[in-house]
Structure 1
């Protein structure tokens, strides 16, 4: 920690005063947000409005109902560095999530850059809905990128998320050619939305164009977050949909094994033979 303080002083405290952002929360010892034990920094603000969103408190880029906190880069990095011993023993590191990381790209860049100076593995979780120039800011400071890919059909994507997926597809195609780290694709599998052969095959066909994907991971729909909608006074539109069991996704996973170059397909972090 003294090293971090000394580095800040040498740069006239630029880390502490130049970049400031809105953090939703910081969670420790996560095993679902990258390799090893991860410290996850959730940022506020997201341009999408997915009907199944499990963290509606992350959507607005402002502090509301007690959700969110203004933090400097120095404050965030200081918190992350407290977990360095766990990163060392587990092969983990920092993951910045959201909301949408790319809405606070400059803030995220500074956090990632400082953490890499400390030898901390870095990753982000993103919808990839952004100008590519914002993505490029982060690439030199990232080991892995986890991209949520929800639907291949543009009209369906607009209906269920509020935005087109054309920019997301363009960004993935560019990233595939320009990033030397790990590209991980995560697909939230939602009954009545994309949990059908047609939609999954369309997604698989597009992802088959990305030869540098490390893995595809299917995430079964869950009902966590419904209570938060009530606290925010918002309606949860998919309230009648039941949680999806992991075992029901095996046949869906087979669709992707046919198109993904290395056949690396997981279901919520587990290989198919573990389910």
Structure 2
């Protein structure tokens, strides 16, 4: 009898200990890092910010920002109106007028650019060089949106050059079409009836761009400067080059001027520019 009683007590003790163990294992662990849980939630919302940390990056939001929105979430910002306004992690004024008006600026780290135009240009990248004389150079997997089209640089050394309103690209890149999103239903603040809204749209940007945006500029690349742009690309398309030798040549193109083989060397060495035409002598028989 006593033996059976002791066995029963031992059984209940083991069962109570097992129950306590399961309760402890099922209890959520305490947060000792100052709010990881809250940080994850803020990260999902904060992914829409230009300076998002570990969360995903909402590219559609970044490309839809204006300058006033970008400067609120960026450490530095600079207004170079009427041509360009920028926000970035770091901004360095390279040249300015005696009155303090910036003329040439270099920006690095999650650069946002708003370039005046019709429509305006919104650009993102890791490095930017801006000359007030209507010139913008962007590098570091740059993105540039104008209206419903987007150009994406696919490598860290891809360079976008904007002279006036013309975009030229050096390196690997691709063009994205605008993709309209389907109609989605979202609950109103009252939580009763759903309200129907339509997302504006988005671009199918490669996932590597989001990673590059968070990592910052490539430290192996030299500082961005106008020397990274060929001289023929920086030349105005409305003006002829100062000399024929300055014109860009295709690989294998013959740069020797075409001369009719039947023409004599005497004719090719004829009047120079500015010389007066000699009077024509008429023979009288």
TM-score (norm 1): 0.25
Bigger-Rg structure (1/2) = 2
Q: Which has the higher contact order (CA 8 A, sep 6+)?
A: 1
